[in-house]
């Protein structure tokens, strides 16, 4: 990363370039900021200007750089937050996978501790942790994906224990399970976003979950009942207009670029969210590439993390990598990709002052070259070294 790109004027707190706006459009201009954006002024410029985008917000990340959320201490999560910031993600949700409730409780305490520690740390050199995303154990035994067969129904003591976790902000469940609709209502009442995923739901069951308050689909097409023209299933609900965002892994492996393009056309940019579903093996050193107990033996093969039997177990991309795939292979404009990677996820989880370039928003910004190379990252107006 270049720490002093040509578009940066640090003494005056200004950035000039081609600015991505919250509606996906681009405008040439100058941003003035302290820790928040104070002004956006139009400016003339040439076609070689840098892009200025809001910092990315990743709602599903299991690990990276050798750090696995399922085994990480609060300090390790803080270290991971610093790594992610230098990839262009300025906020994220550590994602816990299916495990015994006691283990999930331990992971939750590490995440809650990392959030509390970050409130005391004023260095502003790390991506913010927005809360825990719990992906399981309330999932279908028919759609486990790479998860262990420790799935539970979302009710009784196990669910009550999860509901009481103070850092829980997003939960993936299968809406066809007994008790699921009541669970969705209770989670929503507690301001926890519910996502439909790892599910064998029918179209009707998915729509009932949306009516009950579900507002996202977890990694669309993966670990869910497939689309069929006589049995449309949960995928049809995700592709239809609704209040629930379709989250998708844009690595070109989990979903073919042609299907990425079709999903965007079906839902429109306003209905899509990009997530990495990245795992600890991504950017790991050779010494760190050891399989973790949470998911069994995982290796990187054919562009993604996989179990020994070839099943996909997560991605190895950064959010910026995913944006590049959307632009270069799925034909999405850079401004629209920024909406899916920053504006929509931030808004979904109630962090509306992030993920957008507008007056009053946090000055969490990234600067990209025209070739989509990362040139600078600003968190609360401070450039990362």
Residues 86 and 56 sit within 8 Å (Cβ to Cβ): no
Residue 333, Cα to own-chain centre: how many angstroms?
19
Distance CA 162, CA 202 (A): 26
Least confident span in 11-15, 244-248, 316-320, 375-379: 11-15
Distance CA 174, CA 190 (A): 19
From 221, 227, 219, 215, select the one nearest 317 (Cα to Cα): 219
Output the pLDDT for position 5: 39
- For the segment 14-22, the average pLDDT, to the nearest whole number, is 96
Residues with active-site annotation: 277
> By three-state DSSP, how is residue 371 classified?
coil
- Give the pairing of strands 365-368 and 51-54: antiparallel
- Residue 51, token pair as written in the block: 């892009």
In the chain, CATH 2.30.40.10 covers 1-54+355-385
Output the pLDDT for position 217: 98
Residues 20 and 338 sit within 8 Å (Cβ to Cβ): yes
Query: For 189-209, how does the pLDDT look when each residue is reduced to its tens digit (9 = 90+)?
Result: 999 999 999 999 999 999 999
CATH superfamily of 56-352: Metal-dependent hydrolases (3.20.20.140)
Output the pLDDT for position 291: 47
- If you classify domain 1-54+355-385 with CATH, what class do you get? mainly beta
Peptide bond into 137 cis (omega under 30): yes
Query: For 281-296, how does the pLDDT look when each residue is reduced to its tens digit (9 = 90+)?
Result: 999 987 666 544 444 5
Output the pLDDT for position 288: 64
Distance CA 349, CA 384 (A): 25
In the chain, CATH 3.20.20.140 covers 56-352
The mean pLDDT of the chain is 93
Query: For 2-15, how does the pLDDT look when each residue is reduced to its tens digit (9 = 90+)?
Result: 343 344 444 468 99
| CB-facing half-sphere around the CA of 2: CA atoms within 13 A | 12
């Amino acid at each position: 990363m270049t720490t002093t790109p040509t578009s940066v004027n640090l003494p005056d707190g200004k950035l000039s370039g081609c600015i991505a706006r919250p509606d996906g459009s681009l405008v040439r201009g100058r941003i003035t900021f302290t820790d928040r954006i104070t002004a956006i002024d139009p400016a003339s410029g040439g076609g070689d200007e840098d892009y200025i985008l809001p910092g990315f917000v990743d709602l599903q990340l299991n690990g990276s750089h050798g750090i696995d959320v399922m085994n990480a201490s609060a300090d390790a999560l803080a270290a991971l937050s610093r790594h992610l910031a230098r990839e262009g993600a300025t906020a994220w949700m550590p994602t816990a996978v299916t495990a015994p409730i006691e283990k999930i409780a331990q992971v939750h305490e590490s995440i809650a501790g990392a959030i509390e520690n970050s409130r005391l740390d004023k260095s502003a050199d790390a991506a913010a942790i927005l809360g825990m995303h719990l992906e399981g154990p309330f999932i279908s035994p028919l759609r486990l994906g790479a998860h262990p067969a420790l799935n539970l129904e979302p009710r009784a003591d196990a669910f009550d224990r999860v509901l009481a976790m103070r850092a829980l902000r997003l939960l993936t469940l299968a809406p066809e399970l007994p008790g699921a609709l009541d669970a969705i209502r209770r989670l929503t009442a507690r301001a926890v976003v519910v996502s439909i995923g790892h599910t064998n739901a029918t179209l009707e069951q998915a729509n009932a979950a949306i009516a009950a308050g579900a507002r996202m689909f977890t990694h669309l097409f993966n670990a869910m009942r497939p689309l069929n023209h006589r049995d449309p299933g949960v995928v049809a609900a995700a592709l239809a207009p609704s209040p629930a965002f379709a989250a998708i892994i844009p690595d070109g492996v989990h979903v073919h670029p042609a299907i990425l393009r079709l999903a965007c056309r079906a839902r429109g940019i306003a209905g899509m969210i990009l997530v990495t579903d990245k795992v600890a093996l991504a950017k790991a050193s050779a010494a760190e590439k050891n399989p973790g107990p949470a998911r069994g033996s995982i290796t990187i093969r054919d562009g993604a993390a996989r179990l020994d039997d070839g099943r996909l177990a997560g991605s190895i991309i950064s959010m910026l990598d995913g944006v590049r795939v959307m632009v270069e292979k799925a034909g999405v404009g850079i401004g629209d990709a920024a909406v899916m990677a920053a504006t929509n996820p931030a808004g979904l989880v109630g962090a509306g002052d992030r993920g957008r370039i507008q007056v009053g928003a946090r000055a969490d910004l990234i600067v990209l070259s025209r070739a989509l190379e990362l040139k600078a990252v600003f968190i609360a107006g401070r450039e990362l070294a």
